[in-house]
């Protein structure tokens, strides 16, 4: 299975943010989407999630040589600023999410098994989400998207709010689940992308370019990425 993006364009008034995006994202890989602040990474995600309308181009799921439109249930979107119902406890939120999505959840587990998977401590499970830290809210946002098990998982700067230990746990978790998903991981931190991702993709001046990680040492790879981000 793959996500195919063809000739995708998006303008905001006279500003051309996405010029002509062409790429194929394969299942089983984590793609590091690198770009400078304001390069259009979030705009690209918002187009794929159909939060905003594209000006031209298309994107679709291709599986076993058949093509189909990407539906809402195909996509999980973890925002850089977590959006959770703060008036609920973490347990109430998970129960509500599981109840309304039970038909699409595969291999359903108990609520506490999901908490265990995300390494959320016992004493935090019945706290109101308004009392969670930014990082803990991000954990919950990521957890519900993983429970839904979408074909495409869009992660917009998801690890920047975590401390070193939790960030490492999240990286290992993403590596464990990648075989079942197409994961696109947006970041402006080059070292994080190199450590976590199977493929590196640069978004610069509205164009998407893949950086070949094969047969290149780490220092030269970093230099190549920096030059690409400069647009040189």
3-state secondary structure at position 109? coil
- The pLDDT tens digits for 34-50 are 888 888 899 999 999 99
Question: Which domains occur in the chain, in start order?
Answer: 2-230 (3.40.50.300)
Mean pLDDT of 140-154: 92
* pLDDT for 231 beyond 70: no
140's enclosing H/E stretch is helix 134-148
Q: Which residue has the higher pLDDT, 157 or 218?
A: 157
Nearest to 167 by CA among 198, 189, 150, 200: 189
Place 106 in a pLDDT band, splitting at 50, 70 and 90.
confident
pLDDT tens for each residue of 72-103: 889 999 888 888 999 999 999 999 999 998 88
Give residue 8's pLDDT band: very low, low, confident or very high (50, 70, 90): very high
d(CA 18, CA 34): 14
Q: What percent of the chain has pLDDT over 90?
A: 54
* Strand ordering across the sheet containing 56-63: 15-26, 2-12, 56-63, 66-69
Confidence of residue 232 (pLDDT cuts 50, 70, 90): very low
The pTM of the full predicted model, rounded to 2 decimals, is 0.88
What DSSP element (H or E) covers 168?
Answer: helix 164-177
pLDDT of residue 126: 97
What tens digit of pLDDT does each residue of 64-80 get?
A: 889 999 998 899 998 88
* Per-residue pLDDT at 191: 81
Contact in structure between 49 and 194 (CB atoms under 8 Å) = no
In the block, residue with structure tokens 């439109």: 69
5 versus 64: the higher-pLDDT residue is 5
218 has a pLDDT exceeding 70: no
Which tokens is 197 given? 């991702």
Phi and psi of 39, rounded to 5°?
-75, -20
All residues at 6 or more sequence positions from 97 whose CB lies less than 8 Å from its CB, including other chains: 144, 147
Instruction: Tell me the average pLDDT of the chain.
Output: 88
For residues 16 and 12, give the distance between their C-alpha atoms in angstroms, rounded to a whole number. Answer: 7
Instruction: Taking the CA atoms of 78, 137, 108 and 32 in sequence, report the sign of the dihedral they define.
Output: positive
Burial zone of 49 (CB within 10 Å; 0-12 exposed, 13-18 middle, 19+ buried): middle
């Amino acid at each position: 299975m793959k996500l195919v993006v063809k000739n995708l364009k998006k303008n905001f008034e006279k500003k051309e943010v996405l010029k002509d995006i062409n790429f194929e994202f394969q299942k089983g890989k984590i793609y590091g989407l690198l770009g400078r602040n304001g390069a259009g990474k979030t705009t690209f995600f918002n187009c794929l999630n159909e939060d905003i309308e594209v000006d031209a181009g298309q994107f679709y799921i291709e599986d076993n040589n058949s093509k189909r439109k990407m539906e809402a249930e195909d996509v999980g979107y973890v925002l850089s600023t977590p959006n959770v119902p703060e008036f609920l406890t973490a347990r109430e939120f998970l129960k509500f999410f599981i109840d309304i999505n039970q038909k699409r959840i595969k291999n359903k587990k108990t609520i506490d098994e999901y908490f265990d998977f995300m390494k959320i401590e016992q004493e935090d499970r019945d706290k109101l989400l308004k009392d969670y830290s930014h990082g803990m809210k991000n954990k919950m946002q990521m957890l519900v998207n993983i429970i839904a098990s979408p074909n495409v998982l869009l992660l917009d700067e998801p690890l920047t709010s975590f401390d070193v230990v939790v960030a490492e746990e999240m990286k290992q978790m993403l590596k464990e689940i990648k075989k079942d998903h197409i994961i696109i991981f947006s970041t402006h931190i080059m070292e994080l992308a190199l450590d976590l991702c199977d493929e590196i993709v640069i978004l610069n001046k509205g164009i998407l370019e893949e950086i070949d990680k094969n047969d290149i040492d780490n220092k030269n790879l970093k230099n190549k990425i920096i030059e690409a981000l400069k647009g040189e």
